[in-house]
Amino acid sequence: MTRQSEEAAAKAGVVIRELTGIAEFREADRLFDDIWHPGPRNVPVPVELMAGLAHGGGYVAGAFDGDALVGASVGFLAAGRALHSHVTGAAVGRGIGYALKLHQRDWCRERGLERITWTFDPLVRRNARFNLVKLGALPQEYLPDFYGPMADAINEGDASDRLLAVWPVEPGEPPAESPARAPVLLSCADGRPLVRGAAGEVVLVATPRDVEELRRTDPEAAAEWRSAVRAVLGGLMGAGGRVIGFTDRGEYAVAVN
């Protein structure tokens, strides 16, 4: 492990290592169940698949606070010297997820891999900020309803649109700073999305403050955000636009030419 990943793990109060054996894979399954509360047909990754991935050279790792498993991540080797990080879950507020990502990057570096990919919901503002600002990953593709219907406590009732994030194992140039001012193509007006007739070399696309809460309290507004972000952000990326950053206000900065 690099000094950076060791320091992150120490700061989070955990030890991170690869998981081995069915008992530990079952512990990871219980952790994921506590986080997402999935239906029996919608578990993030079955125990049997964790065993197969670990045996076949995939990434199956956990963060331990003493004997307690408080974070876990599962990924598989992908085309183009990449690891696709399928699922990562951890106790919140301690930096465990960040420590897991740094451990994952070290693991990839030791195996000569060049990049790590994963998907995330473009509407979940805190995840976008973590991925784009904290880690320096950038979205490469907008994937409408990528997983189909998802029966869990966080995603149920919403389409599973995702952004494909790409994170180089060896960092290159730092991501461009999000512009302090740029035309706002999609804004938030009284909690609802509002598409504006804005244009420029870089435009901003807003996200809801807390879409997970919105799904519970105002499903209609959550659905409006899904439709608007799919049309605007998905449309821009489909036409060749590149996400170059994420503002402090919760907006994607998109270079359109």
CATH architecture of 3-168: 3-Layer(aba) Sandwich (3.40)
Per-residue pLDDT of the chain (257 residues; tens, 9 = 90+): 789 999 999 999 999 999 999 999 999 999 999 999 988 778 999 999 999 999 999 999 999 999 999 999 999 999 999 999 999 999 999 999 999 999 999 999 999 999 999 999 999 999 999 999 999 999 999 999 999 987 776 787 789 999 999 999 998 766 667 776 899 999 999 999 999 988 899 999 999 999 999 999 999 999 999 999 999 999 999 999 999 999 999 999 999 97
Q: What is the pTM of this model?
A: 0.93
Concatenate the DSSP letters of all residues of 212-251 into one string: HHHHHH-HHHHHHHHHHHIIIIIHHHHTT-EEEEE-TTSE
**Would you state the structure tokens that stand for residue 141, as one six-digit string?**
């593709």
Q: Are strands 251-255 and 82-90 parallel, antiparallel or unpaired?
A: unpaired
Q: What's the pLDDT at 117?
A: 98
The number of C-alpha atoms within 13 Å of 69 and in the hemisphere containing its C-beta is 24
Q: What's the pLDDT at 41?
A: 79
Domain boundaries, the chain: 3-168, 184-255
- Residue pair 73/80 in contact (Cβ under 8 Å)? The answer is no
Residue 179 neighbours by CB distance under 10 Å = 18
**Would you state the structure tokens that stand for residue 124, as one six-digit string?**
């979940």
Q: What's the pLDDT at 115?
A: 98
Report the C-alpha gap between 55 and 164 in whole angstroms.
26
Which helix (H) or strand (E) element contains residue 24?
Answer: helix 21-36
